[in-house]
Amino acid sequence: MSNAILTYPLRTVGALRSALRAVLKVMSIAMISVIVLVMAGVSWELFSFFLVTAIFFAALCVARPLSGRTVAGARESFLSANLVIWIFLMVSGVVFIHNQTTASAAKGHVDPTALYQALSWILCFLALLFITCFRPAYLRRLFSGSFKWATIFAIVAFLSCGLSSQVLYSAALAFKLCVIVLTLCAMGEAIEDDAGIHKLFVALFAGMLIVVMAEFITPFLGPDPFAGGRLGAMIGLSGTCGILLLLSLLFLWLKKNPWFLLCAVFSVVVMMLAGTKGGMVASFASLMVFFFMLKRPAQAFVACLVFTIVFILACAFTPLGKSLQKYSESENASTLTGRTNLWNATWPEIKSHIAFGKGYRASRFLSEEVPGAFQEAGNMHNSFLEVLYNNGLAGLIPILIMNFVIVFNLKGPLLRPPTLRVRYYAVAAFALYTHLFVWGLVAVTFGGAPDDRFMIFFSVFLLSMLLRAQCDGTYRNTFYGQRSS
């Protein structure tokens, strides 16, 4: 026993040195590659792709276990690697930004950055395929329990690509969706206690912080960061900040670290500067849910006061005030910025393809294909109508069931949590779901493009199952079953 105790730190230090050597090798190769690429005069897009890829592989190396165990037998290593893939999938949309008109996309033109984005998804799939070779047990869970509804939706989306007017576009996004569902199931197999749940929340916080930072900085690289009266052209930035705000508050309660308070204030400021109304309303509603479910009315009042002060300052000293005034004086207020007109125009198309829809993400081209749709709509601006338009009832049913599963599973952890930490996790998960649901009434937060918002929805879906398993022994046995160590 004493020898084992003495040799354990040595094995840990040796494993740590091995991991650091692997990271240094990857970074050295990356630095040499960067120098060569700069000397060769390659494009910024290609340079960014190689740089981000190097960071991705370095992170995968760091995710290796430090306890001396092999990759095949380490659940912690498997979870860490999947969390790295999850974060990379979340941030790929803001790292490889491409702006393309609907008319150009409908003609089949492909922006070069879109190709790098697709390559990043392929890299994630290859990394997942590699680690799956060591731990393939999770694949049996794809069609069991509640996981099957995510799998069914992914299959429906993939099969519907043939109905889309742009098959390759739909197939590329359906491929990413399938990688997301596979990674989700792999994480579910690897998480067995609240420590794993904590790691998942950390990954969500890290991913959303990167997303918000990237979307905040990008407009300032252009000539006019406040084009149109609000920060940048990132329509969903306010709602994205609301997600980061909830995660920051969760870790502020858990860690009592002022760093998370700074992140929360930053998210509120950027939210107001972005000025998207649906995202702000959803953020405020979910914030109030978060505090009241924790039975903290005083903190809810303070948060409401801070929210109001920042909003007033943003209206007074930024172009946001003029933008909101212009909006209130126009006819857009009565039509929710043209959304009700869009829904009325597309409803006949929905009814004519009610069973299977028009193909996954066919709504990207509705401005060109549906008379009466406003220019550059890009989607249905409603999560449930988005699914109906793209995948009909075949896609809507699994989405509705996943919504029901989230609420049903979180009932126990919210009412009878076994520990205070589980209660915090359950409240945060329910607040995140409230945010996505409210915001999803005027935007596509789930059921559409497999972006960071849809991934947060999938994460809450998984968290609801994990949290219920912490409270219900019978469900825990059903959820985990026979698992390898």
List, as one string, the DSSP characters of 408-429. Answer: HHHHHHHHS-SSHHHHHHHHHH
317 within some domain: no
pLDDT tens by residue, 87-119: 999 999 888 876 777 777 777 777 777 888 899
- Looking at the domain assignment, is residue 11 inside a domain? yes
For the cut 80, the answer to whether the pLDDT of residue 226 exceeds it is no
Our CA angle for 160, 161, 166, nearest 5°, is 140
User: Does residue 248 lie within any of the structural domains?
Assistant: no
| Residue 455 domain-assigned (yes or no) | no
Please give the tally of structural domains in the chain: 1
127 occurs within a structural domain: yes
pLDDT at 484: 43
What percent of the chain lies above the pLDDT cut of 70? Answer: 85
Q: How far, in Å, CA of 136 to CA of 308, rounded?
A: 50
39 part of a folded domain:
yes
427 compared with 23, residue with greater pLDDT = 427
105 within some domain: yes
247 exposure class (CB count in 10 Å sphere: 0-12, 13-18, 19+)? buried
pTM metric for this prediction: 0.89
Q: For residue 88, give its domain range.
A: 1-134
- Which range, of 22-26, 195-199, 253-257, averages the lowest pLDDT? 22-26
Residue 321 lies in a domain: no
Q: Is 328 in a helix, a strand, or coil?
A: helix
pLDDT per residue as tens digits for the range 12-63: 445 445 555 555 555 565 555 555 555 555 566 777 777 788 888 888 887 7
DSSP annotation of 220 reads G
Distance CA 379, CA 358 (A): 13
